[in-house]
Amino acid sequence: MNQPVTFHAPRRATMPAVPVRWTATDVLELFELPFADLLFRAQTVHREHFDANAIQLSTLLSIKTGGCPEDCAYCPQAAQYDTGVDAEALMPLAEVLEAAAAARAAGATRFCMGAAWRSPKPRHLAKVAEMVKGVKALGLETCVTLGMLAPGQAEELKDAGLDYYNHNLDTSPEFYGSIITTRVYEDRLETLERVREAGVKVCCGGIVGLGESQADRAALIAQLANLSPAPESVPINELVRVEGTPRARQAAIDPFEFVRTIAVARITMPTSMVRLSAGRERMDEALQALCFMAGANSIFYGDRLLVTKNPQAVRDRALLDRLGMRSEGAEALGA
């Protein structure tokens, strides 16, 4: 008979703020719980901190596509891989604001802008700062992902009104070198520290299905949960296999294992928004519903996710309606 595992995380936000340190072993024990028990715990934690029937909608726009010098084994925007993605210049401000306005009209409450850079140059950052100001003026939350940040760059973005900076850890420290060789894990942690010091909220998660073990997934979640504080937004991505990348032939992760990852993220980071991110295009409605039950309360919303497909907005609206769920932008959706 399975023995109950001690639940280490605080149960209510009103409890004293005692730092919780998760070991990879602690997290792995959660992964190993019976599926129904794990989902029950995750749903219980979720309901203590969030409306269980509400979903936050974010839209992601690639403002500078392709030509990246990094060698991330999953990424179609890496210049060294032949994936059919051409390098493009930074989008004009007017086009970005037009896309942001359309996202707001469709119901999104956060607009995320991604640029395929190793690190932004000062002239590029000044242009992105103008985009942030413009999107913020539309009444949307703002998020950017621009690669590694140099000293002072996070402050420049903060002054422009940036709400969130996305910089994923991708995987465990132990597996990281199998996926990326052009930067080290500590580089990512350093950028996250600069974002925090600037007073910008952190959006940080990872990718599952890269060929990592369950222990690697546990180690990734432990790394995220032990950031001080934990990221306000935690995107969980399923690998999108793209021809031309080294991971194009990687076997798909078991769908129940993906749901387990969502559930464990919710338990270990009870007050974070857990976003069901890349890979939704291939997920059926039942699997997405399980992810919501496991504690996912944010999705990327729109027809594209950087350079890969994402479920069309009309399908998302229909699914949320069938589940009796509502979005933060429900009034814009006609709900």
Catalytic center residues: 68, 72, 75, 112, 143, 203, 275
Tokens in use for 244? 């031309």
Burial of 331 (0-12, 13-18, 19+ CB in 10 A): exposed
Q: State the CB neighbour count (10 A cutoff) for residue 243.
A: 11
Question: Which residue in the block uniquely carries the two structure tokens 């997934």?
Answer: 217
How far is 282 from 233, CA to CA, in rounded Å?
Answer: 23
How far is 199 from 309, CA to CA, in rounded Å?
Answer: 33
Q: What does residue 23 show for φ and ψ, rounded to 5 degrees?
A: -85, 160
Give the DSSP per-residue string, 46-89.
Answer: HHHHS-TTEEEEEEEEEEE-S-B----TT-TTBTTS-SSPPP-P
How far is 263 from 167, CA to CA, in rounded Å?
Answer: 21
Determine if residue 324 is left, alpha or beta; phi over 0 gives left, psi from -120 to 50 gives alpha, anything else beta. left
Question: Which residue in the block uniquely carries the two structure tokens 């990281």?
Answer: 176
Burial of 210 (0-12, 13-18, 19+ CB in 10 A): buried
Please name the helix (run of DSSP H) or strand (run of DSSP E) that holds residue 290, with its range, or none: helix 285-293
Cis, bond preceding 229 (omega within 30 deg of 0):
yes
How far is 174 from 334, CA to CA, in rounded Å?
Answer: 47
**Secondary structure of residue 284 in the 3-state scheme:** coil
CA distances, 49 to each of 16, 46, 110, 125, 186 (Å) = 15, 6, 20, 35, 31
